[in-house]
Amino acid sequence: MNSAKNQPPLHLATIGMGSNLGDREATLREAILWLGEQSGNRLRSCSSLYETEPFGKADQGWFLNCVIQIETSRELQGFFRVLQEGEVRFGRVRGERWGPRTLDLDLLFFDDAVYSDAELTVPHPGVAVRRFVLEPLCEVAPDLVHPSLGQRASSLLGQLTESSRVVCLGRPPVVLNRSVII
């Protein structure tokens, strides 16, 4: 019996993505496609690409960033493990903090969960203070309410004093058509 009643509940995961090594755009595109193909996942939305100056460590190449939303039947920890697997799959080597990387997958929000352990904090602690996260987030979910702060993403962006350079390239890494990746 395959009725909707027997399907696991879907969760909405919001992911910040970034890359500043190799073919940045291809890496982001391929990672988005890979995430959407994982069991229980469906890509719901994808922002445009944003070219952003590095955060936390200036002496490295600029990043390409975007934000995606995925509907998933996985629970929080299982979904986080998929993100970690994706980083490794696309060549991420954890070295210095805020250093260069082929792929960064940050779990920004998972439904309205507030959770923290030694490996994971949701909402991501940097969401409210990083322009390279808030600008693409506001493109796909301006009314998303930060569950700890009680403010919409658009309000957080409006209050932001951080002034790093963020340039919208005006094109998404993938195109969505009725939730189907073309």
In one-letter notation, the amino acid at residue 27 is: T
What is the three-class DSSP state of 38?
A: coil
If 0-12 CB within 10 Å is exposed, 13-18 middle and 19+ buried, where does residue 138 land? Answer: buried
- 139 is written with which tokens? 């493109």
C-alpha triplet 135, 80, 50: angle, nearest 5° = 20
Q: What is the DSSP string of 77-120?
A: HHHHHHHHHHHHHTT----STT---S-EEEEEEETT--EE-SS-
Distances (CA, A) of 53 to 31, 64, 165: 21, 9, 6
In one-letter notation, the amino acid at residue 139 is: E
* Direct distance between the N- and C-terminal alpha carbons of the chain, in angstroms, rounded to an integer: 30
Nearest Cα residue to 17 out of 103, 120, 137, 98? 103
Residues designated catalytic: 92, 101, 104, 106
